[in-house]
């Protein structure tokens, strides 16, 4: 069921893993994401720490996370071994398929089911 609203999902588009940059953490912290601010302070002495969305308490479909990637740009928002991108979707349901670190956002309409005769 579509409600004609666009949603946005952030995903990793290169071999590696989903990882936010320090710039992304700073951007999120400046907009009130408390865990982002805490992580910035906790990882100050080891900036190579990999930070994903769950560590800052956000879902991949969080509008603030998507806005962060859009405003900073993919390269600036992405941490080491990641390239974050934003995919607009119309469905409220999605899944992220991961093959070798490269993620694909799929909605129910795009999944090709195998039916047993």
pLDDT in tens, 45-97: 886 778 889 999 999 999 999 999 999 999 999 999 899 999 999 999 999 99
Are residues 46 and 78 in contact, defined by beta-carbon separation less than 8 angstroms? Answer: no
pLDDT at 33: 96
Domain boundaries, the chain: 7-110
Alpha helices of the chain — where are they, by DSSP H?
A: 22-30, 34-42, 63-72, 74-77
Q: Is the pLDDT of residue 1 over 60?
A: no
């Amino acid at each position: 069921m579509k409600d004609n609203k666009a949603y946005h999902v952030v995903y990793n588009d290169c071999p590696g893993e989903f990882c936010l940059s320090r710039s992304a953490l700073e951007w999120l912290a400046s907009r009130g994401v408390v865990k982002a601010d805490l992580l910035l302070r906790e990882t100050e002495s080891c900036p190579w720490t990999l930070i994903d969305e769950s560590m800052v308490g956000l879902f991949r479909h969080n509008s603030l996370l998507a806005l962060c990637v859009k405003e900073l740009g993919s390269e600036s928002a992405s941490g080491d071994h990641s390239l974050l991108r934003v995919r607009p979707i119309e469905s409220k349901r999605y899944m992220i398929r991961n093959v070798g670190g490269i993620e694909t956002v799929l909605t129910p309409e795009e999944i090709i089911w195998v039916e047993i005769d």
